[in-house]
Amino acid sequence: MKKAIAAVVALSLTAVMAGCGKDVSLESEGKNGKGYPDELSIWCTVNTNLTAGGAKDLNDNLFFQYMEEQTGTHVNWTHPSASSAEQNFNLMIASGVFSDMIVSDWSSKYQKEDMDALILPLGDLIEDNMPNLTKYLKENPDMKKQFVADSGEVFYIPIIREDKELCVYLGPQIRKDWLDKLGLEIPRTTDELYNVLKAFKTRNPNGGDGKDIKPMTGTGFAKNAAFDIGNLLWPFGAHYDFYLDGGEVKYGIMEPEFEEGLKYIRKLYAENLIDPDFLLNDRTKIEARVINNQVGFISGYQPTALQTSMDDGVRAVVGIPHLSGPNGGRKCFYKNYEEMVLNKISIAVSTACKDSGGALKWLDKIFGEPGLTYANWGREGVSYEVVDGKPRWTDYVMKNSEGRTPKVMRTISTLSGVETFPTIVQFEPYVQQLGSWGREAIPVWTDTADTSGIYPPAVSFTEQEAADIADVMSTVTTYMQESVTKIILGTEGIESLAAVRERIRGLGIDRIIKIYDDAYARYQKR
């Protein structure tokens, strides 16, 4: 018995001591000659492309190897997988042992008091230690506006996208070869789309018996903006979420345009032009249906992935212009289109960091030349080469001898390819590795989208506001999805919309619209 107890005690002591050991290694005392810390610990999720490229952690990435050569700083990474990131993050907070720098979604979710205990305000620190970033933000005040707090304080540095085109990675797309086969033009209005879908349904362009064709598909109403069936509301100037109309915040279903758009979707569904199982769809199912020649029209991510699995020289998926409705507008409410700054992925310096100045100095290498080129292209002669004065990916990235995709190779060669660590992302390296279908879709979508109605994704809410929104909207959204879906399916008449609006007003939507209005006003004043 005594022995057993002794064993238990010994075991738990070892555990405690192991914990102590970790603590000590976190301390990065002293600096090497250049003012960079000897060691940094960084907490950062990574996606599976990194391991698919054979890298153990980000120290195997060409960019961070360059960083270590330049600064002499060794980084100790903590990489939770994306799926367990939140749990891992909470565990770190609860244990009280923080990494020096943490990449997370700092823009929302956490209560203000938690943030204060966790991370440092960066305002003066950036001025003093990050000349490159300071210069960039001076030249691009619009970018800065999207990640300073309403109080003017800066807490984190997000991923910054240099070009608007980088945000345009989703939109409507159609089977061009089907159109050609049936002698049809690319649809530009809702009426033309209706005729095209009708032709897809009745004139079996896939050469089968026509029964398996679902002219268009998508995901359930107001569920997943990328593929949403509700995106058909947009040409009518209507939306299923909050949006701006001449500077005024509106909530989709409460507005008169919504009814017109909903009638259109309902008509398509009633005439069997929409996949009857759209409620059960997710991205995989939708893309599988496109690849299996069952679907002709979708909204979704740029078609590089589709091209990889279905390009046979005959089939073609092309991006089409955002449709215009009966009143002529080409409204597009993809929030992504306005997301020049990706607050979801932003780096902050934790309160545990011993040398915050040195850490930021290290980080600043990313935001100035030659670091920035390195961050976007990797190592010259390895991942890219300069031809006629312009950088181009080498075969090492584009046609890898070990059969790895360009995307995977970009992840292990560059920082912007990692996608989970802040930097300034450039357009050229991104677009060069896209397939031709994806490359051609981007300008079509960019030129035809009227994004003036998008509620800026960078607006932030106070803790109380966020709580009120969660309180009301968790009920409103569920109820709105349910009742609108019933109208689309035809189990409820369009006239029930009045009662739905009445109930939503009763649940307190006006109060929430007011909150969105206030937050937007604060955002404008930043």
Partner 1 sequence: MAEITARKAVKAPLQSHVRWRDIYEARHLYILLLPTVLGYLIFNYAPMCGLVIAFQKFSLIKGVFGSQFVGLDNFVKFLTAPNFWQVFQNTLSINLMSLVFGFPAPIIFALLLNEVRNTSFKKAVQTITYMPHFISTVVICSMILTFVSSDGLINTLRGIFGGKEISFMSHPQYFQPIYIISGIWQGLGWSSIIYIAALSGVDQQLYEAAKIDGAGRWKQLWNVTLPGIMPTIMILLIMNIGHLMSMGYEKVLLLYNSAIYSKADVISTFVYRRGLLNAEYSFSAAVGLFNSVINFTLLMIANFISKKTTENALW
**Using rule CB under 8 A, residue 441 touches partner 1:** no
Residue 129 or 219 having the CB closest to partner 1: 219
Q: Cβ of residue 97: shortest distance to partner 1, in angstroms?
A: 13
Residue 288 or 386 having the CB closest to partner 1: 288
State the Cα–Cα distance between residues 198 and 333, nearest whole angstrom. 26
**Using rule CB under 8 A, residue 481 touches partner 1:** yes
Binding residue for partner 1 (CB under 8 A) from 97, 125, 186, 489? Answer: 489
Binding residue for partner 1 (CB under 8 A) from 114, 128, 271, 395? Answer: 114
Binding residue for partner 1 (CB under 8 A) from 1, 15, 314, 387? Answer: 1
State the Cα–Cα distance between residues 497 and 146, nearest whole angstrom. 36
Binding residue for partner 1 (CB under 8 A) from 53, 187, 220, 429? Answer: 220
Residue 68 or 86 having the CB closest to partner 1: 86
Q: Cβ of residue 85: shortest distance to partner 1, in angstroms?
A: 13
Residue 118 or 459 having the CB closest to partner 1: 118
Tokens in use for 160?
């910054």
**Using rule CB under 8 A, residue 470 touches partner 1:** yes
Binding residue for partner 1 (CB under 8 A) from 43, 156, 221, 455? Answer: 221
Residue 154 near residue 347, CB atoms below 8 Å: no
Environment class of residue 312 by beta-carbon count within 10 Å: exposed (0-12), middle (13-18) or buried (19+)?
exposed
**Using rule CB under 8 A, residue 118 touches partner 1:** yes
Q: Cβ of residue 389: shortest distance to partner 1, in angstroms?
A: 49
**From 417-425, 435-443, 467-475, 512-520, span contacting partner 1 (CB under 8 A):** 467-475
| Secondary structure letter of residue 119 according to DSSP | B
**Using rule CB under 8 A, residue 399 touches partner 1:** no
Binding-residue total with partner 1 (CB under 8 A): 35
Environment class of residue 227 by beta-carbon count within 10 Å: exposed (0-12), middle (13-18) or buried (19+)?
buried
Binding residue for partner 1 (CB under 8 A) from 31, 203, 335, 486? Answer: 486
**Using rule CB under 8 A, residue 222 touches partner 1:** yes
**Using rule CB under 8 A, residue 395 touches partner 1:** no
Bridge-partner residues for 228, per DSSP?
A: 219
**Using rule CB under 8 A, residue 511 touches partner 1:** no
State the Cα–Cα distance between residues 187 and 325, nearest whole angstrom. 12
Residue 475 or 524 having the CB closest to partner 1: 475
State the Cα–Cα distance between residues 248 and 47, nearest whole angstrom. 38
387 phi and psi angles, rounded to 5 deg: -115, 125
**Using rule CB under 8 A, residue 43 touches partner 1:** no
Length of the chain: 526
140 phi and psi angles, rounded to 5 deg: -125, 70
Distance of CA 57 to the CA centre of its chain: 22
Residue 252 near residue 497, CB atoms below 8 Å: no
Helix, strand, or coil here: 3?
helix
**From 254-262, 273-281, 328-336, 421-429, span contacting partner 1 (CB under 8 A):** 273-281
**Using rule CB under 8 A, residue 463 touches partner 1:** no
Instruction: Give the CB-side neighbour count of residue 103, counting CA atoms within 13 A.
Output: 23
Cβ-based neighbours of 147, under 8 Å, separated by 6 or more: 107, 154, 156, 157, 158, 341, 343, 346, 458
**From 135-143, 416-424, 469-477, 514-522, span contacting partner 1 (CB under 8 A):** 469-477
**Using rule CB under 8 A, residue 443 touches partner 1:** no
Binding residue for partner 1 (CB under 8 A) from 180, 277, 447, 510? Answer: 277
**Using rule CB under 8 A, residue 308 touches partner 1:** no
Q: Identify residues 4-23 at the interface with partner 1 (CB under 8 A).
A: 4
Determine the number of helices (DSSP H) and then strands (DSSP E) in the chain. 22, 14
**Using rule CB under 8 A, residue 475 touches partner 1:** yes
Residue 78 or 373 having the CB closest to partner 1: 78
Residue 358 near residue 37, CB atoms below 8 Å: yes
Please give the order of strands across the beta sheet that includes 341-349: 74-78, 39-43, 101-104, 341-349, 157-161, 424-425
**From 308-316, 366-374, 418-426, 471-479, span contacting partner 1 (CB under 8 A):** 471-479
- Is the sign of the CA dihedral 236, 239, 244, 250 positive or negative? positive
Query: Measured in Å, how far apart are the chain's first and last C-alpha atoms?
Result: 67
**Using rule CB under 8 A, residue 212 touches partner 1:** yes
**From 29-37, 303-311, 482-490, 494-502, span contacting partner 1 (CB under 8 A):** 482-490
Residue 327 or 478 having the CB closest to partner 1: 478
State the Cα–Cα distance between residues 245 and 513, nearest whole angstrom. 13
Helix, strand, or coil here: 449?
coil
Residue 486 near residue 220, CB atoms below 8 Å: no
Residue 280 or 521 having the CB closest to partner 1: 280
Helix, strand, or coil here: 242?
strand
Binding residue for partner 1 (CB under 8 A) from 77, 427, 479, 523? Answer: 479
Q: Cβ of residue 33: shortest distance to partner 1, in angstroms?
A: 37
Pairing relation of β-strands 101-104 and 341-349? antiparallel
State the Cα–Cα distance between residues 19 and 15, nearest whole angstrom. 6
Q: Cβ of residue 12: shortest distance to partner 1, in angstroms?
A: 11
State the Cα–Cα distance between residues 135 and 392, nearest whole angstrom. 27
Chain contacts with partner 1 (rule: CB under 8 A) = 1, 4, 86, 90, 93-94, 109-111, 113-114, 117-118, 212, 220-223, 276-277, 279-280, 470-471, 474-475, 478-479, 481-482, 485-486, 489, 491, 507
